[in-house]
Amino acid sequence: MRRARKARTSLRWLLQLGLPLLAGAMLFVGVFYSGRLLGERLKGQDKVVLYFSDLECESPPGLSHAEFLHEVQYLADLPDRLELLEGETPARIARALALHPWVAKVKQVKLSSMGAVRAELVFREPILAAGAPARVVDGSGILLPRGASTKGLPLLTTKVVPPDGPPGKPWADVRVQAAAQVVGLLRPRLDALGLTACRVSVRDGEVTLETDRCRLLWGRPPEQEKVDEAQAVTKLRRLPEIESLVGWEWDVRPTNGIKKQRFPTTKK
């Protein structure tokens, strides 16, 4: 009996001493775990600020990601950091990107669940070189930055008025506009037609593409055709009939079909 009473006393003493210690330990664990959660939540708060240099997007030809974003930031006069909790921020980023002359379209600016911001962009495609020194335009005749490469592009040999506007704006000369529209339309077929890196000329509003081995008489740009001239859609439909222009001069202007004649080769 004495031993049983002593054991109960010891157990009561341990419970009286141990419960506070256990409660303290549990409190410490709870505070520690809550602190970690709070820390993670505070870390998450850093994601509401975007350093513009961290914006995820593709970059245009000839520019690194950092160079491209630096130019965008300069053109739009953006700060280094943007508050993502501001509802206007995604639209502000989109407007800034759209100012860059390489950017044809900003499809979207999206915030991911991890806090990263990504922009989906469509860049202008170099289509034609023109002028001296040569500058590059896209299929709409929009002037591209000076760094745009002319390598492998069709060259407009007709003398034109130099551009008077900045990159990202149309080159005002109508001959540049006409040539760019036609070359842009034919771009997917130039290689098959033997017109890669061809020479382009514009005379009386009509566009001609040629190399030392062939020539294509296209005519006026789309939606500017003469009354007795085939429409652009008809001309394009006829092109599959031509495997290659090499050795020939093809005239797709007549409304009643293609005309061709031997091309006088002067060079090999």
Residue spans per domain, the chain: 48-123, 128-262
Q: Tell me, what amino acid is at 250? A: W
Q: Which has more pLDDT, 17 or 190?
A: 190
CB contact at 8 A, 52 and 73: yes
**pLDDT attached to residue 48:** 78
The CATH label, of 3.30.1380, 3.10.20, 3.30.70, 3.90.25, for the domain at 48-123 is 3.10.20
Question: What's the mean pLDDT when you consider all of the chain?
Answer: 84
pLDDT tier at 206 (50, 70, 90 boundaries)?
A: very high
CA-nearest of 161, 183, 165 to 174 is 161
**pLDDT attached to residue 195:** 93
**pLDDT attached to residue 266:** 54
Could you read off the pLDDT of 45-100 as tens digits, one per residue? Answer: 445 788 999 999 999 999 999 999 999 999 999 999 998 877 788 999 999 999 99
**pLDDT attached to residue 9:** 47
pTM of the model: 0.77
**pLDDT attached to residue 265:** 61
Q: Terminus-to-terminus CA distance in the chain, angstroms?
A: 122
Q: Give the DSSP H or E segment for 34.
A: helix 2-45
**pLDDT attached to residue 72:** 97
Contacts of 143 (CB under 8 A, 6+ apart): 101, 135, 136, 137, 163, 165, 166, 167, 168, 169, 170, 171
**pLDDT attached to residue 122:** 98
**pLDDT attached to residue 98:** 97
Burial class (CB in 10 A: 0-12, 13-18, 19+), 158: middle
